[in-house]
Structure 1
Amino acid sequence: MASLQEQLLKAGVVNKKKANQIKAEKLQTKQKIKNGKLDNKAEEERKAELQRQREEKAAKDRELNLARQREIERTAVLGQIRQMILQNTVAREDGDLAYNFTDDKKIKKLYLSEKMHKDLSEGRLGLLKSDEQYVLVPKGIAEKIQQKEPTFVLVLNTKSDAVEDEDDPYADFQIPDDLMW
């Protein structure tokens, strides 16, 4: 039995010139495959896989760099906060008045002088926790620290003007602010 090429030549479907041209093309492709110069599908897939791996590595590197950058920024902010606390700490005067506040769901008590107690209650001072110690700082500094890192600020009272009801039967009887029980 003759090859398909010979059968096509006998039938007159393909002429001798066309058959030789196809044979030459086959030989060239075999030589390219043998020499490794042919970009076939396997080669394209390998290149695509390498490109995908490069892109994944670049994305992972970007993520790691962002995480490192965030950590550096956080460390810088914490350093700024500690510096602000050190420079602006109000010397605490021990006194007889207890000021109660919460720290990590626990009620704590701090004894202050009458003036400091009043300033802290009225919001002129803020109470912060720094390195397991409680410190008092002016309101402006406490607000700046609260914007940067709210976990430092334990107490920062704000004055609120109470809205009075028109129908309040006790509107004529104001409660004094300095009332001590």
Structure 2
Amino acid sequence: MAGSLQDQLLKAGLADSDKARKLEKEKRKQAKVARRSGEELGAETKAAAREALAEKARRDRELNGARNAEALRKAINAQIKQLIDNHKLPRGRGDVGFNFSDGKKVKKLYVLAVEQKQLAAGNLAIVKQGDQYELLPWPIAAKIAERDSSRVIVCSEAGDPGLTAEEQEWYKDYEVPDDLMW
């Protein structure tokens, strides 16, 4: 393959070798003057390169932020799974159906009568793990709610917050009839 464009033009006879030498000498002079005066050749190119580097750094920061957020979400899900697996109460041995709502759907979980009273009193909570529901003690459910409140489905507070202590005392003698349980 032939050399530079200048060599090709010289071989074709379209350019004069004296003119080529003069142009080369002038080009070297300009480069030398530019180096001495502190001017840079191709300042526009270098500015574009700096701009491209800044843009790449910004994109990298965004990607790292997204990766860190995803890693944090996975870590929180792993913590919640571990809390549920370590503290869930055994299921499948209950004979009382406990109805609760998950979003717009009404679900039923069979629990023992004692567990039903503890759920109503706020000592137990129902937590969603995937498509399963688990019973957990209230303190563990509170820890899960700190991490992801959407996972705690049923968590009654002890007593009705709308009632004063005097009203709660007055209502304590009245039991809710079984036919009103849903």
User: Do the two structures share a fold, i.e. TM-score over 0.5?
Assistant: yes
Match of 2:104 in 1: 105
**CA-to-partner distance for each residue in 1:47-79, whole Å, 9 max, x for gaps?**
211111111111111111111111111111111
Question: Is the Cα–Cα contact under 8 Å of residues 128 and 152 in structure 1 kept in the other structure?
Answer: yes
Q: Provide the rounded CA distance (Å) in 2 between the counterparts of 1:33 and 1:56.
A: 32
Instruction: Measure how far apart 1:95 and its partner are.
Output: 3.3
Instruction: Measure how far apart 1:96 and its partner are.
Output: 3.4
Q: Provide the rounded CA distance (Å) in 2 between the counterparts of 1:178 and 1:73.
A: 44
Aligned residues: 149
Match of 1:124 in 2: 123
Question: Is the Cα–Cα contact under 8 Å of residues 96 and 112 in structure 1 kept in the other structure?
Answer: yes
Q: Provide the rounded CA distance (Å) in 1 between the counterparts of 2:51 and 2:81.
A: 45
Question: Is the Cα–Cα contact under 8 Å of residues 93 and 116 in structure 1 kept in the other structure?
Answer: no
Instruction: Measure how far apart 1:35 and its partner are.
Output: 7.4
Q: Provide the rounded CA distance (Å) in 1 between the counterparts of 2:68 and 2:102.
A: 30
Instruction: Measure how far apart 1:178 and its partner are.
Output: 4.6
Residue 168 of structure 2 corresponds to residue 176 of structure 1 = no
Instruction: Measure how far apart 1:110 and its partner are.
Output: 1.4
Instruction: Measure how far apart 1:180 and its partner are.
Output: 2.4
Match of 1:96 in 2: 95
Match of 1:143 in 2: 142
Correspondence list, 1:33-52, <5 A: 33=30, 37=34, 39=39, 43-52=42-51
Structure 1 residue ranges (4+ consecutive) displaced by more than 3 angstroms after TM superposition: 28-40, 93-96, 161-164, 171-175
Instruction: Measure how far apart 1:113 and its partner are.
Output: 1.4
Q: Match of 2:155, as an amino acid?
A: L
Q: CA RMSD in A?
A: 3.0
Percent of residue pairs identical: 34
Instruction: Measure how far apart 1:163 and its partner are.
Output: 3.3
Q: Match of 1:107, as an amino acid?
A: V
Q: TM-score normalized by structure 1?
A: 0.69
Where does structure 2 lack aligned partners over 5 or more consecutive residues? 1-24
Q: Provide the rounded CA distance (Å) in 2 between the counterparts of 1:146 and 1:136.
A: 14
Q: Match of 2:134, as an amino acid?
A: V
**CA-to-partner distance for each residue in 1:95-121, whole Å, 9 max, x for gaps?**
332211112321111122110111111
Three-state SS of the structure 2 residue aligned to 1:91 is coil
Residue 83 of structure 2 corresponds to residue 84 of structure 1 = yes
Match of 1:68 in 2: 67
Q: TM-score normalized by structure 2?
A: 0.69
Three-state SS of the structure 1 residue aligned to 2:110 is strand
**CA-to-partner distance for each residue in 1:117-165, whole Å, 9 max, x for gaps?**
111111101101113111101100000001101222111111234435x
Which structure shows the higher helix fraction? 2
Instruction: Measure how far apart 1:36 and its partner are.
Output: 9.8
Residue 163 of structure 2 corresponds to residue 163 of structure 1 = yes
